Amino acid sequence: MPQIKMRGVDLEKVCAGSKEMIDNLEEIIGCPRDYFTIEWMPSTFVCDGGIVPGYPFVEVVWFDRGQKVQDQVAREITRFVHEMGYSSVDVYFHALEKKSYYENGVSFI
Q: Report the distance separating Cα 24 and Cα 79, nearest Å.
A: 11
Residue numbers of the domain that contains 58:
3-107
pTM: 0.91
Pair 30, 82: CB distance under 8 Å: no
3-state SS assignment for residue 5: strand
Please give the chain's pLDDT, 109 residues, in tens: 899 999 999 999 999 999 999 999 999 999 999 999 999 999 999 999 999 988 999 999 999 999 999 999 999 999 999 999 999 999 999 999 988 999 899 988 7
Neighbours of 74 (CB within 10 A): 17
State the total domains in the chain.
Answer: 1
What CATH number does residue 76 fall under? 3.30.429.10
